[in-house]
């Protein structure tokens, strides 16, 4: 887009943002990774002296000035804190791995929709047995940079459902998106819940949960089963739908 | 998925569904198109005598039995009406064309989320000038078949925003997803609205609407401007988010 070739006084919505792992402090000079250097110079066509925004999930968001040193090196001088670190509402996503294109959508959209953690879970009807968590991590970093988040969701390694539940902290309640069983329509189910606390949204594989999985989940006191409308949703749509409902009622979309 | 190779008594959620354009009546024999024939025989591996579900957007949903005639022809004998035609809540989607992968997501997800019509609209910051409406139509048919809908959304040819508004029926209210301006957070905006009537959800291009477009839209009495949370959403996520909010509050997701 032509908007990308804007001068240094571009507004914060269109400014290039980079997630970094080091501390962010006034007047520090930091070095871009080779990937970030390539992205700034070749993809975004940033010129020497232009501004970029940095965040690390701990120290808020900072403005930094690009200083290229020849072709091989790109420094960034941290000039100004734009906003302090904020703690967004805490909602994890538990999901059964699906094929790559849908999984990329899930990682990107759930990051845009504010999740704190991605927990891939292996269920009875999960067809996809290999989960590329490195790919998921790179997707969530890119989505966090582009969605103006101040942190990046944690990506867990996949675990079997039984294992996940065995070590689950019961104070983190789960909204289970079930197509069958005792599920309540999601607007009514969420209307019953007082905002606050830690949550997770759980989505099954394309084939749904098995009856025994649903029975087991329904017995857990921290699980609320919900229905996402009368039509059948693909996994990525279901993830987006459940998270949007959650943010609307219990998260940071109000007011 | 292994589930697809099920016998004829498969339940309605997993049965193969086909959208057709002819009338559906008891005991009629109809001919599959070459594409449907290929899909049934090669993709879904349906054997002679197995059941398939047909819908045409007018006569509800019917069960039909597959009868292959050699390799070249596939008939379907209509045996039983599964459900009458229903009229879902009426919500259109007005959206600025984006690149192909995001547009495919928009067509599929918005169909799963129950839209009645897709209206591509050309705005000031719309980068994509060519819209493959034939591709969009094929996407919405496939999504309607797979999401258990009883009809298929209409896909309009793209028109400039000014043209769209010039002929717009003011009794169809518009929820405008705006990132700036006088937009109200979507939960609060929708809480003010009584259910009923015809609606549209409007999403801008990746670059957003221009200020003059937003000013013009805000003046229209049938437009409500909303904000979709504090993070920046890509177009396809914004479409899903706005439609989910609409279905939750004004559509068919309740009860």
A210 touches chain B (CB under 8 A): no
3-state secondary structure string across A168-228:
CCCCCEEEEECCCCCCEEHHHHHHCCCCCCCEEEEECCCCCCCHHHHHHHHHCCCEEEEEC
| CB within 8 Å: A244 and B249 | no
Residue B130 binned pLDDT confidence (cut-offs 50, 70, 90): confident
A183 touches chain B (CB under 8 A): no
What percentage of chain B exceeds 70 in pLDDT?
94
* Per-residue confidence (pLDDT) for residue B7, from 0 to 100: 39
Query: How many CB atoms sit inside 10 A of residue B220's CB?
Result: 14
* Per-residue confidence (pLDDT) for residue B4, from 0 to 100: 39
Residue A171: partners with Cβ closer than 8 Å, 6 or more residues away: A197, A198, A222
Tokens of B190: 């929708």
Over residues B44-94, the pLDDT tens digits come to: 999 999 999 999 999 999 999 999 999 999 999 999 999 999 989 999 999
Residue A2 binned pLDDT confidence (cut-offs 50, 70, 90): very low
B88: closest chain A residue by CA:
A230
Asked if the model's pLDDT at residue B196 lies above 60, the reply is yes
Residue with tokens 């005598």: B49
Asked if the model's pLDDT at residue A202 lies above 90, the reply is yes
| CB within 8 Å: B185 and A228 | no
Query: Domain boundaries in chain B?
Result: 2-83, 91-249
| CB within 8 Å: B109 and A240 | yes
Contacts of B244 in chain A (CB under 8 A): 240-241, 244-245
| CB within 8 Å: A109 and B185 | no
Over residues A54-92, the pLDDT tens digits come to: 999 999 999 999 999 999 999 999 999 999 999 899 999
Asked if the model's pLDDT at residue B105 lies above 60, the reply is yes
B119 touches chain A (CB under 8 A): no
B129 touches chain A (CB under 8 A): no
A146 touches chain B (CB under 8 A): yes
The pLDDT mean for chain B works out to 91
Nearest by CB to B240, which of A179, A231, A240? A240
Over residues A120-141, the pLDDT tens digits come to: 999 999 888 789 999 999 999 9
Nearest by CB to B105, which of A13, A105, A148? A105
Q: In terms of DSSP bridges, do strands A61-69 and B117-122 run parallel, antiparallel, or are they unpaired?
A: unpaired
Residue A11 binned pLDDT confidence (cut-offs 50, 70, 90): low
Give the least confident one: A91-105, B179-193, B197-211.
B179-193
Contact B138, B111 (CB under 8 A): no
* Per-residue confidence (pLDDT) for residue B178, from 0 to 100: 86
Contact A199, A250 (CB under 8 A): yes
CATH superfamily of the domain spanning A2-83: Hypothetical PUA domain-like; domain 1 (2.40.240.20)
pTM confidence score: 0.93
* Per-residue confidence (pLDDT) for residue B128, from 0 to 100: 83
Contacts of B207 in chain A (CB under 8 A): 1, 3
| CB within 8 Å: B233 and A112 | yes
What residue spans of B79-171 are helical by DSSP H?
Answer: 100-112, 133-146, 161-166
CATH class of the region B91-249: alpha beta
Contacts of B185 in chain A (CB under 8 A): 253-255
| CB within 8 Å: A113 and B249 | no
* Per-residue confidence (pLDDT) for residue A5, from 0 to 100: 40
A132 touches chain B (CB under 8 A): no
- The kind and range of the H/E element at B63 are strand B61-69
Contacts of A179 in chain B (CB under 8 A): 13
**Shortest Cα distance, chain A CAs vs residue B199, angstroms:** 18
Nearest by CB to B109, which of A112, A206, A237? A237
A98: closest chain B residue by CA:
B1
Contacts of A146 in chain B (CB under 8 A): 232, 234
State the complex-level ipTM: 0.92
| CB within 8 Å: B241 and A244 | yes
Over residues A26-52, the pLDDT tens digits come to: 999 999 999 999 999 999 999 999 999
Contact B147, A229 (CB under 8 A): no
Residue A14 binned pLDDT confidence (cut-offs 50, 70, 90): low
Asked if the model's pLDDT at residue B43 lies above 50, the reply is yes
């Amino acid at each position: 887009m032509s908007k990308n070739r804007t001068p240094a006084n571009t507004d914060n919505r269109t400014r290039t943002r980079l997630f970094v792992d080091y501390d962010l402090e006034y007047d520090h000079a930091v070095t871009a990774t080779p990937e970030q250097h390539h992205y700034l110079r070749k993809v975004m066509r940033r010129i020497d002296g232009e501004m970029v925004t940095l965040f690390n999930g701990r120290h808020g968001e900072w403005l930094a000035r690009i200083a290229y040193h020849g072709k091989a090196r790109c420094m960034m001088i941290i000039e100004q804190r734009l906003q302090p670190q904020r703690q967004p509402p805490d909602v994890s996503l538990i999901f059964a791995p699906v094929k790559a294109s849908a999984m990329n959508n899930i990682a990107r959209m759930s990051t845009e929709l504010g999740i704190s953690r991605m927990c891939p879970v292996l269920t009875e009807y999960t067809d996809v047995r290999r989960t590329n968590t490195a790919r998921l991590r790179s997707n969530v970093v890119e989505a966090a940079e582009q969605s103006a988040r101040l942190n990046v969701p944690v990506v867990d390694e996949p675990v079997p459902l039984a294992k996940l539940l065995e070590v689950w902290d019961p104070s983190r309640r789960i909204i289970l998106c079930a197509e069958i069983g005792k599920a309540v329509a999601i607007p009514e189910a969420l209307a019953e819940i007082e905002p606050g606390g830690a949550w997770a949204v759980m989505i099954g594989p394309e084939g749904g949960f098995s009856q025994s999985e649903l029975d087991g989940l329904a017995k857990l006191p921290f699980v609320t089963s919900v229905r996402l409308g009368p039509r059948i949703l693909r996994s990525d749509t279901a993830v987006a739908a459940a998270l949007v409902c959650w943010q609307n009622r219990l998260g940071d979309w109000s007011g």
